[in-house]
Every structure is written in C-alpha cells, then in structure tokens.
A = this chain, B = another copy of it.
Amino acid sequence: MTQSIVRRDGRALDALRPISLKRHFTRHAEGSVLVSFGDTQVLVTASVEERVPPHKKGSGEGWVTAEYGMLPRSTHTRSDREAAKGKQSGRTQEIQRLIGRSMRAVVDLKALGERTIQLDCDVLQADGGTRTAAITGAWVAVADAVAWLQAQGRIAASPLIGQVAAISVGMVDGAPRLDLEYEEDSGCDADMNVVMTADRRLIEVQGTAEGAPFSRGDLDALLDLATQGCENLFALQKAALAK
C-alpha cells in the first residue's frame, strides 16, 4: 500500500476518520446516539414499541426495523425533502433495508418478545459513509434500548447476540482506502460496504464497480482493510457503552 499518497485530511490510506458516538443525544428515545465519522453526522434513535408488524403477529417473536433520511441541507447542495416529494428514493429504501437486516442479524427475535425496536437514522451532515455510520451507531442505540427494556423488567436476558459495525472501503487510483469521505467516494473505481460482527464474520458485503470492474485480488485487499477498520469500530462501540 503506497502510504505516500496524501488524503485530503492528511490521514493514512488505512486510517479511519475521527469517530465519535455520543449517547443520550436526545431525551425521548430509549436509545439515542449521535454518531460521527469525520464530518458525517447521523442521529440514530431506537424506539421500543409494544407491537409488531402483521407478519410477526402471534409469533412470539419481535422485530427490528429501520428508517433512514437525510435532512435536505445535510448535503453540499440542497436535496429535495422526501416528505415534500411524497416518496422515498430507491437509495433511501436500499439503505434502510440494509440497516434493518444488519441489526436483525445480531438480535434474537424470540428473546426480544413480541415488540419492535424501530430505528430512525437521520443524517444531519453528510460527507460519505452515512450508511456505515448509521449501522455502527445503530448497534449502540439498540444496546441502550435493550438495556432500557431490562431495566424496566420487560425482558430478563438480553436478546443481543452479537456486535456489529460497518465500514466503507474503496479502490482509488489503484490503491485500497478505508472509510471514504464524499469526494473519494465519488471518484473511486470500486467501493464496498462491509457489515461485520465482532467475531469477524460477515453480515453483508456489497461491492460495486463504479468505473471499471474489479478483480478478486482487489476484493480480497478491500475485505482485509474493512476487517481492520471494523475492529477499531468494535472497540469504540464498547468504549461508548462503558461510559
């Protein structure tokens, strides 16, 4: 890896941006985390609702689901407000489905009982990696919501059966980079979002050639880098919960 290439913010190709996970950012939600990956800021709330969607009714199992949105001026130039347009874009729907699947992979729905943890991931400021920041923060918000349920005596054992984080990686000018910011993401040849558990197993791997198709070798290098990035995130999540 050619470390001489300078990134806009001076960090190494295999370095994360400064990460922060502020818990209890708002006061109504059972879990509320402001997660920052550099200039990307996402407010994630986890709401406990004592009901489940129709396909889970009477199953004895709960559900975890997510919605995602960007404030209109979270981006460089203002985007239309989806509520005003009257529909969510395909991109929005892809991301919220990804967040939901990622969280369900580490929650035992039986142990959760017939209730829903509803995640809301709202991007206050965007600079690349909003979906990976959202997933990383969502896990902390879910942990807080689960702790609240236990404190309330509604569940005995925690249904949280794993730890999950996500990071983006990409090939830029032939070299793999970790945690792309917006400008890097726009200019890369291939990018990949990786959702991983703390025991180094994979929940989602989404690799996309933006320009030229990529090789198996590229894929392997990107996965190595993502693994390293996620390990840092697991430590930061644990530190946030320990406070």
Interface positions of A (Cβ within 8 A of B): 26-29, 32, 39, 41, 43, 45, 47, 49, 67, 69, 71-76, 78, 81-94, 96-97, 101, 105, 118, 120, 122, 124-125, 162, 190, 192, 196-197, 199-209, 212-216, 218-219, 223
Chain A at the B interface: SS class: mixed
How many copies, total? Answer: 6
**B87, A90: Cβ atoms closer than 8 Å:** no
Contacts of A92 in B (CB 8 A): 83
Cβ-closest 3 pairs across A and B: A90-B93, A201-B213, A82-B83
Q: Which of B27, B71, B90, B218 contacts A43 (CB 8 A)?
A: B71
Say how far A175's CB is from chain B's closest CB, in angstroms.
17
Contacts of A73 in B (CB 8 A): 26, 28-29, 32, 45, 47, 120
**A125, B72: Cβ atoms closer than 8 Å:** no
Say how far A21's CB is from chain B's closest CB, in angstroms.
17
Contacts of A91 in B (CB 8 A): 97
Q: Which of B26, B213, B218 contacts A197 (CB 8 A)?
A: B213
A235 to B148, CA, bound (A): 41
